[in-house]
Structure 1
Amino acid sequence: MERNMDLVRELLFIIEKNNDKKELPIPKDWDREVVAYHLKILEQAGFVENYTKWAGNEPLWILASLTWDGHEFLDSIRNNTIWNKTKEGIKGKGLEIASVPLEVIKEYAKLQIKALLGLN
């Protein structure tokens, strides 16, 4: 399964807003298996603690919380302008954002924030 960085970003927003209280309010039109996969890889990256419970071959209950690194990553891509500039900048270099490591995406987004703040 290919990583979907727009889905990753939306999941991080949902997790942050959910505040560790209950099952994540996943939109009904989202594929729960794709969501569960992305939570698994976000956990592997150290950005979330994933508490997904499976019943048979389907994710029955999906709950996750952000780690410190997850908050830091979300903060680097939170702003829509920064996120769009990050995606456009990476695409402008001939790369797909799904094929760029998360740490590189985070650093590139931080460069966009620094440029916006005049810190270059």
Structure 2
Amino acid sequence: MKEPELKEHPFIMESGQMDNALVQYNVGLAVDHGLIKASSTTLDNVPTFLITGITWSGHEFLDTVRNDGVLTQAKSMAKEKGSKLFDIPFEVVKALVTKAAQSYFLGS
């Protein structure tokens, strides 16, 4: 899939650049896991979310995975178990990222 071209606002994409159902599904997951705040409605019989903010947990998670060393280490830990980091349940991803951050920054 090609990278969407960004307009003036970095979070607005042209329609058709990404599968809307997939985007909405992933936004719903982020809401369910307490990473973002969003209001929900239905447009053309498709559940649709309007993101209204990011939670403290969302900020903490982004700050952690934004570090390339931590993310690389978490991916490596998942690979050792025969999986890809983003193919495992989110709660496990958070735990691996936390463990990787502790190891990366504290050496433990």
Greater helix proportion: 1
Distance 1:71 1:61, change over 3 A: closer
Is this contact kept in 2: 1:86–1:108, CA < 8 A?
A: yes
CA distance in 1, matches of 2:59, 2:91: 13
State the identity %: 24
Q: Are residue 118 (structure 1) and residue 106 (structure 2) matched?
A: yes
Q: Which runs of 4+ in 1 moved over 3 A?
A: 57-62
What is the deviation of 1:90?
Answer: 0.4
What is the deviation of 1:41?
Answer: 1.2
Larger radius of gyration: 2
**Structure 1 unaligned residues grouped into runs of 5+:** 1-21
Is this contact kept in 2: 1:50–1:64, CA < 8 A?
A: yes
Q: Are residue 65 (structure 1) and residue 53 (structure 2) matched?
A: yes
CA distance in 2, matches of 1:51, 1:24: 17
Instruction: Output one character per residue of 1:79-109: Cα deviation in whole Å (capped at 9) or x when no partner.
Output: 1232232123202211243442322212211
Is this contact kept in 2: 1:23–1:61, CA < 8 A?
A: no
Distance 1:89 1:70, change over 3 A: same
Greater strand proportion: 2
Q: Are residue 56 (structure 1) and residue 26 (structure 2) matched?
A: no
Instruction: Output one character per residue of 1:5-30: Cα deviation in whole Å (capped at 9) or x when no partner.
Output: xxxxxxxxxxxxxxxxx894247622
Is this contact kept in 1: 2:38–2:49, CA < 8 A?
A: no
Name which structure has the greater RCO, CA cutoff 8 Å, separation 6+. 1
CA distance in 2, matches of 1:118, 1:60: 41
TM-score, normalised with respect to structure 1: 0.63
What is the deviation of 1:39?
Answer: 0.7
CA distance in 2, matches of 1:50, 1:61: 6
SS of structure 2 residue aligned to 1:30: coil
Question: In the comparison of the two structures, how many residue pairs are matched?
Answer: 99
SS of structure 2 residue aligned to 1:25: coil
SS of structure 2 residue aligned to 1:63: strand
What is the deviation of 1:54?
Answer: 3.7
Distance 1:26 1:61, change over 3 A: farther
